């Protein structure tokens, strides 16, 4: 498994990961991913295995606070520590840019994601009301870096 910054050539693969990883209303569009690839203070990192993109994660940083915006691993690549390594790469990237903490939002029923975040040092600190629609609150998690 090789981790590397994503390029526009990876857009099609990223859309494939979105389709496999999320229900339609939650998927990021091609435009959303293109904007992330273009944005300042963003890391879009992919893992490549057997000649294809097996996973992606996206991070931002502003002042001392970084955010984990997305992590998705292809179904046949899960359970091998890929998400853990991508989150680690994001923390290293953010730390090098002066970040002291990383935040994220997660659905409280997304057990695999919660497990990854707990395993990588995140703790719940708050909830964000109606983040995923009326009555569907997000858990906000924080990790010191």
* Contact present, 55 and 27 (Cβ < 8 Å): no
Secondary structure letter of residue 129 according to DSSP: T
Q: Site residues for ligand COA, window 23-42 (CB under 6 A)?
A: none
Work out whether 98 is an interface residue with ligand COA (CB under 6 A): no
SS3 65: strand
Residues in contact with ligand COA, counted by CB under 6 A, come to a total of 20
E strand or H helix that includes residue 110: none
Instruction: Please tell me whether residue 116 binds ligand COA under the rule CB under 6 A.
Output: yes
Nearer to ligand COA, 44 or 83 (CB): 83
Query: Per CB under 6 A, does 70 bind ligand COA?
Result: yes
Which residues sit at the interface with ligand COA, rule CB under 6 A? 21-22, 70-73, 78-84, 110-113, 115-116, 119
């Amino acid at each position: 498994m090789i981790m590397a910054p994503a390029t526009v050539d990876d857009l099609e693969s990223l859309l494939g990961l979105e389709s496999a990883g999320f229900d339609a209303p939650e998927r990021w569009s091609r435009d959303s991913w293109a904007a992330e690839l273009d944005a300042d203070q963003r890391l879009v990192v992919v893992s490549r295995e057997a000649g294809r993109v097996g996973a992606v994660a996206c991070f931002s940083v502003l002042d001392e606070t970084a955010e984990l915006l997305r992590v998705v691993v292809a179904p046949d690549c899960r359970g091998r520590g890929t998400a853990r390594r991508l989150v680690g790469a994001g923390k290293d990237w953010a730390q090098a840019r002066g970040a002291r903490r990383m935040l994220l939002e997660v659905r409280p029923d997304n057990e695999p994601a919660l497990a990854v975040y707990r395993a990588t040092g995140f703790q719940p600190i708050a909830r964000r009301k109606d983040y995923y629609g009326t009555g569907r609150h997000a858990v906000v998690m924080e990790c010191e870096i």
